[in-house]
Structure 1
Amino acid sequence: MELTGIGVGRGIAAGPVKRMPEPLAEPADIERTADAESEIAAANVSLAAVGEWLRERGVKAGGEAKDVLDAQALMAGDPALAKDIAKRIEAGKTAERAVFDAFASFQKMLEGMGGYMGERAADLADVAQRVIAHLRGVPAPGVPESDEPFILVAHDLAPADTALLDFTKVFALVTRDGGPTSHTAILARAKSIPAIVGVGAGAESLTDDTLVVVNAATSTVTAGVSAADVEAALVKRAEWLEASNAPITDGALKDGHKVPLLANLGSPKEAAGAIALGAEGVGLFRTEFLFLDSATAPTVAEQEVQYTELLEAFPGKKVVVRALDAGADKPLSFLNEAHEENPALGLRGIRALRVKENILRDQLTALVNAQNKTEADLWVMAPMVADAEETDYFVGLCRELGLRVPGVMAEVPSLALVADQVLETADFVSIGTNDLTQYTMAADRMLGTVGSYQDPWHPAVLRLIKQLGDAGIASGKPVGVCGEAAADPNLAIVLVGLGVTTLSMTPAALAEVRAALLTVTLDEAKARAARALNGRTAAEARKLGSE
């Protein structure tokens, strides 16, 4: 029996299945017999205890796991949730039932938002389970223990359970739910282990001790295999681990064709970790962290400090900074106060910045100042650019202020269609595959009901990337990718075959992508790309492009 889902990475693993225990039984919906005040107090004690436990476990886990566990702790301490729970208790619910219903209500709201927020719903459900377990005085469901290596199968994995997983024992992760940005997928990339997420109802057939082979490269879980099949897979796993742990070198194909591997970063503090993993520079620095928690735009001086810190970490290296990308899922009142029925198609990115040009000028001025104080090779790009006219506007402003290398992001399909015109002015183009996929497929990336359309392997998306690659080759200017697609080792090969010159990704994916590129020549990458372009669906393109 073979199950398919979304593969993370390209590793392979094999072994017996161990399933996560089933969730605690739903609390009975009965009238409380205790007084409301004591029930509310008990609920608050349990919320506080779970929050503290999550924070302590986060400190022990460190790294990305700490950030996720801290976010869960904030969920447990959310005053709005506590208030909702208290109201339900006062209305006659028991503490357990009030917690269950209040968390379920918030979880439903997140699921309705879809995308990244929808995938955080599982984190909220995990907090609820822990609070209910504390109220009952019983242990919360956790990761199974085993003396031998195993494949962990679950509905979805919560951060608190996965933060301290023993990856000498857990060889791979398989989940019924989740997508490419779920916590399980993020964890798998960070730990460089194979995972298949979003397998669906078929995951229920994977019972304890069933022997399976998990192949992230083919996005498959094969059950009912023989001991010989497992042994063969483990040999391949050893080869994959050896390749992934090879000495860090610059990104290149087997024939020596250079493909610089860059990092996507969200703050200067992430620079050291990226360098340690072999990042040759930065392909996407997101500047939103400076703006999102503020009621007003940061000053030139405040921004300059952060940009200087970033650039100083990469002397002589390329650092690509994206101008503020606000709007849609990142609204800022000081940039656009108007209500929009569909903000993904509204004043977003360069459109919003043109309306409030003073904010853009301040940001570019801060970048110029940082550029002139450091030795990094600073490139700056505008988000959500639609055509040559918008390109001319941004590039002209950059040159007026003294920025040396201005470019644009290709996230709107129209830009790909006029890429030759755009590259007459821009010094480079960087493809944001997440948004390019969203707008090509007319499927809101934040809406869970159309999540299946969010696949950059779709031939329509690949053909737009080829147009951009061809325009780059014709103009002699670089075309990079900084979306999640670059972190997929097989897709990375196809992207190079389509004319992409650099790849930027989450630093945890660098080793696998580096190893994958070394397995093909440029001609072989082009052949894979050509096959993928002929696919009729994303799944077919993935299969054709991975062979």
Structure 2
Amino acid sequence: MEINGTGIGQGVAVGPVVRMAEQLPPPVDRPSHLDPELEGERARASLSVVAAELANRGAKAGGAAKDVLEAQAMMAEDPSLVDEVTKLLATGKTAERAVYESFAAYRDLLLGMGGYMAERATDLDDISQRVIANLLKLPAPGVPNPGHAFVLVARDLAPADTATLDLDQVLGLVTIDGGPTSHTAILAREKSIVAIVGATDAATLADGDTVVVDAANDVVISAPTPEQVADAEARIAERAALEAAPVTPGALADGTPVPLLANLGSADGAAEAVKLGAEGVGLFRTEFLFLDADTAPSVREQQEHYTRLLSAFPGRKVVVRVLDAGADKPLSFLNDAHEENPALGLRGIRALRHSEIILREQLTALAMADATTDADLWVMAPMIATVEETEYFTKLADELGIKVAGVMVETPSAALIADRVLRVAAFASIGTNDLTQYTMAADRLLGTVANLQSPWHPAVLKLIADVGAAGAELGKPVGICGEAAADPLLAVVLVGLGATSLSMSPSALADVRASLARYTPDDAKALARAAMAAEGAADAKQAAQAVATEITTARAAAS
């Protein structure tokens, strides 16, 4: 039986299934026999224990996991949540029930806000479960330890669990819920875990079932034949050899360079990115400096962080995105006003113009860091939709000492007028996650519309092609910094559409590098034409794969 989902990366794994236990049931709503103050002490103690545990896990895991788990730890002791727990305890509830109800109410609030905040609602469920387990003196929810290597099947995985998976035991990961931009997917990609998310029918798998987890083909094979197991094992050996091969710059088969860059969320990941072959940074997210803070960081504080990043890439391109925040990532010092549809509200460059001093200070700090380092700094603005916004950002960046100022193309409007936008901007970087979301009118955080969230859709590819054509005509670089660049086959298509560089999670670099090396520029254009001519996302991927197979077969026959 084949179970479809969304593969993360290109890996394959074979092994027996171990199911992760379902969540604890809601605590019984009964009156407490303890004084509210004593129940309050119990609740606060458990919240502190869980917060410390999450922070410790984050410190050990490092990278993106550290940022995610530190944010969870802060959520566990959020004053507004603690106040709500205290109010419920005063009505006679137990600490367990008060925690459950408080977190559930806050979770519903975040879900209603949509966007980034809705994504964090799942994290609240994990924190609540851990606190309740601590109060009940039960083991915290987590990954089972059967004493042998296994494929983990779960409803979804909390960041704390994904970040600390024992990769000597966990051969692969399959989740029933979740999508390609969930925390589970992001952390699995960073840790190079063979994973398939959103595999609804995986709920039918039982402990001990043998499965092949084929992320490259978006499928879990239950009860595989001996031939399917042998094929999977051969591919595992092939990938191991690939990862051990010497690192070389990204290039097509004829030597045409395609720089492969890293997406980073903090300077902590720079050394590992370089080790894995990153030729620079295509997207440095600066949000980590601002999120969960009461005030904006000072120019000096920002300069120190940017200097550390730039120092890790002497002589190499580093593309920094200024703060991408707003109504869907509310910051008290930027804009925390409630909006009915935050994904279409005051976010990105719109929010920064609303509080220009924050943008000015960030650009000043970046210029100061650039002056003391040898990296090739490029700076870009998020969520550009108009030429006027492009002119605003590039003029301000030039005024404050930024040498190369560009824009993110994440809205269909920016893609459709890319020729005019690129007459003003020095470069464009296409954020395929948001571009897909806005093109398909499908929230990328909602599993209910996951089938519409693929960057393979011809409508999305057409917009990317428009930007690529504009860049070629004007001699302006066009990079890709969305998760689409991490798909080895789609990476070739993107180059065929005019992308001049690709930026991705460092763990994806080896696969993409190997894929590009198999095709010439004409091959890439042929794959792109085939995908563009398809009716839908799945058809586009199949069409590109068919052309790729023809090219490989013809080459093999010729040799």
The answer to whether the superposition gives a TM-score over 0.5 is yes
Q: Does the 8 Å contact 2:117/2:328 carry over to 1?
A: no
Confirm or deny that 1:96 pairs with 2:96.
yes
The alpha carbon displacement at 1:348 in A equals 3.7
Q: Deviations over 1:409-450 (max 9, x none)?
A: 212212222222233333221111122222222334466655
* Whole-angstrom CA distance in 2 between matches of 1:442 and 1:58: 34
* Whole-angstrom CA distance in 2 between matches of 1:117 and 1:40: 28
- Corresponding pairs, count: 546
Q: Cα distance 1:439–1:316, how it changes in 2: closer, same or farther (>3 A)?
A: same
The alpha carbon displacement at 1:279 in A equals 1.4
1:232 aligned residue:
231
Q: Cα distance 1:189–1:390, how it changes in 2: closer, same or farther (>3 A)?
A: same
Q: Deviations over 1:327-373 (max 9, x none)?
A: 23234565568765544434443445456555544444443343333
Question: What amino acid maps onto 1:517 in structure 2?
Answer: L
Q: Cα distance 1:54–1:293, how it changes in 2: closer, same or farther (>3 A)?
A: closer
* Whole-angstrom CA distance in 2 between matches of 1:262 and 1:446: 25
Confirm or deny that 1:170 pairs with 2:170.
yes
1:18 aligned residue:
18
Q: Cα distance 1:96–1:304, how it changes in 2: closer, same or farther (>3 A)?
A: closer
SS in 1 for 2:510: helix
Q: Does the 8 Å contact 1:416/1:464 carry over to 2?
A: yes
Matches for 1:443-462 after TM superposition, within 5 Å? 443-445=442-444, 450=449, 452-462=451-461
1:526 aligned residue:
525
Question: What amino acid maps onto 2:103 in structure 1?
Answer: F
* Whole-angstrom CA distance in 2 between matches of 1:262 and 1:170: 28
Q: Does the 8 Å contact 1:245/1:511 carry over to 2?
A: no
* Whole-angstrom CA distance in 1 between matches of 2:44 and 2:301: 39
Question: What amino acid maps onto 1:10 in structure 2?
Answer: Q
1:318 aligned residue:
317
Q: Does the 8 Å contact 1:244/1:515 carry over to 2?
A: no
Q: Cα distance 1:53–1:425, how it changes in 2: closer, same or farther (>3 A)?
A: closer
* Whole-angstrom CA distance in 1 between matches of 2:399 and 2:74: 45
Question: What amino acid maps onto 1:281 in structure 2?
Answer: G
1:145 aligned residue:
145
Deviation larger for 121-130 or 478-487: 121-130
2:503 aligned residue:
504
Q: Does the 8 Å contact 2:114/2:343 carry over to 1?
A: no
Question: What amino acid maps onto 2:49 in structure 1?
Answer: A
Q: State percent identity of aligned pairs.
A: 62
Q: Deviations over 1:474-498 (max 9, x none)?
A: 2232110112222222322221121
Question: What amino acid maps onto 2:41 in structure 1?
Answer: A
SS in 2 for 1:285: strand
Question: What amino acid maps onto 2:53 in structure 1?
Answer: W
Question: What amino acid maps onto 1:421 in structure 2?
Answer: R
Matches for 1:281-320 after TM superposition, within 5 Å? 281-292=280-291, 300-320=299-319
1:470 aligned residue:
469
Confirm or deny that 1:436 pairs with 2:435.
yes
SS in 1 for 2:217: coil
SS in 2 for 1:208: coil
* Whole-angstrom CA distance in 2 between matches of 1:467 and 1:50: 49
Q: Does the 8 Å contact 2:18/2:206 carry over to 1?
A: yes
SS in 2 for 1:196: strand
Deviation larger for 359-368 or 1-10: 359-368
Question: What amino acid maps onto 2:91 in structure 1?
Answer: A
Q: Does the 8 Å contact 1:115/1:448 carry over to 2?
A: no
Q: Cα distance 1:289–1:17, how it changes in 2: closer, same or farther (>3 A)?
A: closer
Q: Deviations over 1:136-156 (max 9, x none)?
A: 323234322234432110001
* Whole-angstrom CA distance in 1 between matches of 2:73 and 2:293: 23
Deviation larger for 461-470 or 79-88: 79-88
* Whole-angstrom CA distance in 2 between matches of 1:357 and 1:132: 43
The alpha carbon displacement at 1:500 in A equals 0.4
* Whole-angstrom CA distance in 1 between matches of 2:324 and 2:67: 23
1:216 aligned residue:
215
* Whole-angstrom CA distance in 1 between matches of 2:46 and 2:369: 48
Deviation larger for 338-347 or 136-145: 338-347
1:373 aligned residue:
372
1:133 aligned residue:
133
Deviation larger for 298-307 or 129-138: 298-307
* Whole-angstrom CA distance in 2 between matches of 1:307 and 1:218: 39
Q: Does the 8 Å contact 2:113/2:328 carry over to 1?
A: no
Q: Does the 8 Å contact 2:433/2:455 carry over to 1?
A: yes
Q: Does the 8 Å contact 1:387/1:415 carry over to 2?
A: yes
Q: Deviations over 1:467-522 (max 9, x none)?
A: 11112222232110112222222322221121101011222322332233233333
Confirm or deny that 1:118 pairs with 2:118.
yes
Q: 5+ unaligned residues in a row in structure 1: which ranges?
A: none
TM-score, with length taken from structure 1: 0.90
* Whole-angstrom CA distance in 2 between matches of 1:81 and 1:149: 39
2:556 aligned residue:
none
Confirm or deny that 1:86 pairs with 2:117.
no
Q: Cα distance 1:345–1:66, how it changes in 2: closer, same or farther (>3 A)?
A: closer
Question: What amino acid maps onto 1:437 in structure 2?
Answer: T
The alpha carbon displacement at 1:405 in A equals 2.5
Confirm or deny that 1:426 pairs with 2:461.
no
TM-score, with length taken from structure 2: 0.88
The alpha carbon displacement at 1:62 in A equals 4.2
1:250 aligned residue:
249
Matches for 1:269-284 after TM superposition, within 5 Å? 269-284=268-283
SS in 1 for 2:479: strand
SS in 2 for 1:217: helix
Q: Does the 8 Å contact 1:437/1:454 carry over to 2?
A: yes
2:410 aligned residue:
411
Q: Deviations over 1:288-337 (max 9, x none)?
A: 44455666655555544443333222221112222343423234565568
Question: What amino acid maps onto 2:423 in structure 1?
Answer: E
The alpha carbon displacement at 1:254 in A equals 3.0
* Whole-angstrom CA distance in 1 between matches of 2:163 and 2:91: 37
Question: What amino acid maps onto 2:192 in structure 1?
Answer: S
Question: What amino acid maps onto 1:131 in structure 2?
Answer: V
* Whole-angstrom CA distance in 2 between matches of 1:167 and 1:12: 14
* Whole-angstrom CA distance in 1 between matches of 2:354 and 2:92: 52
Q: Deviations over 1:36-55 (max 9, x none)?
A: 44433333333333333334
Q: Cα distance 1:374–1:131, how it changes in 2: closer, same or farther (>3 A)?
A: closer
RMSD of equivalent CA atoms = 2.9
